[in-house]
Amino acid sequence: MSVDFATVLVLLSALTGGIWLFDRLLFAKRRAARMARGEAREPVVVEYARSLFPVIFIVLLVRSFIAEPFRIPSSSMMPTLLIGDFILVNKFAYGLRLPVTHTRIVPLGQPERGDVVVFRYPVNPRQDYIKRIVGLPGDQIAYRDKTIYINGEPVAAEPVGRYIGVGSGRDMTGALLQRERLGGREHQILQRDNTPAFIRGDGSWRVPEGHYFVMGDNRDNSEDSRFWGFVPEENLVGKAFVVWMNWDSRAGGIDFSRIGMVIR
């Protein structure tokens, strides 16, 4: 069973803050004189609540409105992100949202084509996914012969060579490494030879208003919008922007070369 950490933080903040406030309003002043005479001490529950509330509340604010850490569990975003990458997600890139309800209270920006985004999986919103935005609202997207077409125009991609995988991504060794230009920015993708295009349906989609079409950079090993459809705007969690740690036991542990890598 997945745990909604935001809900846990909200409940803990309410509990510790409520205990602290309740004691301060009703009991603290009357207890102060007795404490001065050594006849009483602050209850342990109140002491813990007073100490923990600021810490929990600050963590809640940072995680909800500034940045949130995530771990990459799969190979769907290789070669951009590897299994074992720990990333930070900008929570205010697309507007400030309330924790738990995810209601946007301050609109600050809009997703752009090519952004790497974390979102709540439309099929199971308790599960977080990470993919790259390919289609914006109103776009006509097609995927044929492993080429993306946006509003009838093919997305430029040029071969770079053959990929050499390491650790948990070693099975992608030999895949075709390509440089793709999307939204005015370049990034690399992987494609397997002699593997049929990964799609469901006729390979053509019109992106509805308020939704986005997303794909993994590991094009033949990614369950994305080609399979389950579009990402509603309200499901967006934020924009991935940096790798702060990589741990892959199959690659020998920490890969220091990936620490601080900007996600493009």
Predicted confidence band at 194 (pLDDT cuts at 50, 70, 90)? confident
Query: Is 131 considered catalytic here?
Result: yes
Task: State residue 131's pLDDT score.
Answer: 98
pLDDT more than 70, % of the chain = 99
Q: Mean pLDDT over residues 93-117, rounded? A: 92
Average pLDDT, the chain: 92
Predicted confidence band at 133 (pLDDT cuts at 50, 70, 90)? very high
- Residue 62 confidence (pLDDT) above 50: yes
- Residue 2 confidence (pLDDT) above 60: no
Q: Of residues 64, 75, 131, 146, which has the active-site annotation?
A: 131
Q: Mean pLDDT over residues 113-138, rounded? A: 96
Task: State residue 36's pLDDT score.
Answer: 75
Cα separation values, 69 from 7, 80, 86, 87, Å: 16, 17, 7, 6
Query: Is 76 considered catalytic here?
Result: yes
Task: State residue 3's pLDDT score.
Answer: 60
Predicted confidence band at 208 (pLDDT cuts at 50, 70, 90)? very high
Residue count of the chain: 264
Q: pLDDT tens, 38-50? A: 777 888 999 999 9
- Residue 132 confidence (pLDDT) above 70: yes
Predicted confidence band at 35 (pLDDT cuts at 50, 70, 90)? confident
Predicted confidence band at 1 (pLDDT cuts at 50, 70, 90)? very low
Q: Measured at the alpha carbon of residue 250, what is the angle toward residues 245 and 253, in degrees to the nearest 5?
A: 35
Q: Of residues 13, 75, 76, 222, which has the active-site annotation?
A: 76
Q: Mean pLDDT over residues 204-221, rounded? A: 97
